[in-house]
Structure formats: structure tokens, C-alpha cells
Amino acid sequence: MHKLKQIALLSLILVLGMTGCTKKENTEIIGGADEPTTIVLEPEISKDEPKETVNDIITDDQAIAAIKNYCHINNPDLVDIEKAGEYPVYWEIASSDDKQIVVLYRSYTGALVRYYIDPSSGDTYVTEFVSGITPEEERTDESFNVKDYISENEPSAENVSSVPGTWATASMGYEYNGDVLPEYHVQFTDSEVVYGHMLDGKFVTDHTAKIIHLEKTASSGYRIQVESSGGGHYTYQTSEEDDNVLEFYETWDKDDFHSMYRGGASLWKID
């Protein structure tokens, strides 16, 4: 097996407990929210921030797709809330020019959350307005770089319906008929990672984990963000050195891959 490549470390702090994209327990569902009365906020962009090339300028389509991705990653239950259709949830471009893109997210709680994006640097800050609760649009302590959430390639549904083949963990340890086998054999559906073993040529399921996000990368590999039954978050990503290897990272944040790589849990394709 080729040596698996690791990438540089940069921590990402996920802000919990917000009414916006992060899950909030015991949140009262309220009606629609009105427009804020005043907007007096300015982005806090470092003067030392290097200028981006024209090709790096974020488009409206990239901005709204990235904010959706950010919301889904920080609140996995949001996908099920959208599918249920009980509460209105949507994203739209509130305004856009060469200096700032504003993406409006209408939360299932009724809050209006706005993401103010610098289209050159990607720096993003967040405001929230809840009719009857906040007097006007208020800035939160949430900030991030939206470029971290732009997909390397916009995948088609056909390309990412599932990951084909049967895979096996690099770690060994399961014994059958005196043979030492991989700890798990793994198959993928459109919504789950299925862990099991091969017995007499047949795949037998042991347990499953939920696929939160699945995409094709620019190099035609896969990136799969997974949530275990216990709530743990991890990622499988095709190795840049070997298409038959899915590297395992015990995080969803690719900037933390350097420190969260787990070789024994990585997968290699056997069929």
C-alpha cells in the first residue's frame, strides 16, 4: 500500500448552541421573521490579508452552496428537518456586489440568519434576527472562512449516489475458520456506511453509520463525511496517491486531517 499523504493542520472552532445552522435543543418554533430595521455592521477583514486573484473570487452560486454545506455539517439533523417539510427552511442571496455577498438562511426556528461574505478572502461573519425576540439584526460571535466549505467539484447525483465496491480496513483481527481477516469489510449505500464481514463469500452486516455528506473531489475521488450511531464524526477521503485507498480521518474538518489521520481505520478496495 502506498504511503498515505497527510495535509497541514489548522484548527476550526465550531460554535455551538446558535439558533442558525447549529442544532439548538428545546427551541421554540416561531412564525416568519420580518426584515431588520437597521444594518450597521462592517466586516472585520485584516489589512494584511493578501489580495486574491480574479479566479479566486467567490461567486453567488459558490457562496450559497458553501453556506448550505456549512449548515448541514454543523447541524446534521437539518437534512431530516428539510425532508420533513414541517417548517420552512431555505437559503437565498440577500444582496451581492464586488465587495460583499450576503446569504440569508431562514432557519426552521423562524430566525433569519445572514452570512456576510467577503468574496475575495472568504472571511465570513454572521448576524441573526428573530421577530419579537431581537429588536433588530444582531451580530453573533460566529465567524469562519467560507472557502473551507466550497466543494472542490460540484458533483452530479449520479456520480455520488454511492461508493462502489467492497472495502476492508487496514487493521486485522477478525478470525474465521482459522484465518485472520480485516477487522471489518465495508460497503456503501446512498445513505449509510455498512460494516460487516465476508463469510463464505457473502457480506454479513455487523453495524452501520450514517452518511451526512458525499461528494466527488476534483481528482475524481470521494470524500464521505460520516456520523456514527454514538454521534462521532469522521471522514473517508480517497488517497491522492492511490485511488484504491480511502484514508480515515477522525474529524469532518479537512484542516485537522494532519492530526486526526488513523491509518488502521483506513480502507483499501478489495472488489
Span 201-234, pLDDT tens digits:
889 999 999 998 888 776 678 889 999 988 899 9
Burial of 142 (0-12, 13-18, 19+ CB in 10 A): buried
Is residue 102 within 8 A of residue 93, CB to CB? The reply is yes
**pLDDT per position as a tens digit, 172-208:** 877 777 778 899 999 999 889 999 998 888 899 999 9
| pLDDT computed for residue 219 by the predictor | 67
Closest CA to 115 of 156, 87, 55, 74: 74
pLDDT at residue 161 in the model: 61
Which parts of the chain sit beneath pLDDT 50? Answer: 1-18, 24-43, 45-47, 49-54, 153-159
Q: How many CB atoms lie within 10 A of CB 157?
A: 7
67, with CB counted inside 10 A (0-12, 13-18, 19+), is buried
How high is the pLDDT of residue 56?
79
N residues, the chain = 271
First and final CA of the chain: distance in angstroms? 16
How confident is the model at residue 208, as a pLDDT?
A: 95
The pLDDT assigned to 5 comes to 43
Buried b (16+ CB within 10 A) or exposed e, 208-247: bbebbbbbbeeeebbbbbbbeeeeebbbbbbbeebeebbb
Q: Looking at residue 67, what is its pLDDT?
A: 94
**Beta carbons of 75 and 22 less than 8 angstroms apart:** yes
pLDDT attached to residue 265: 94
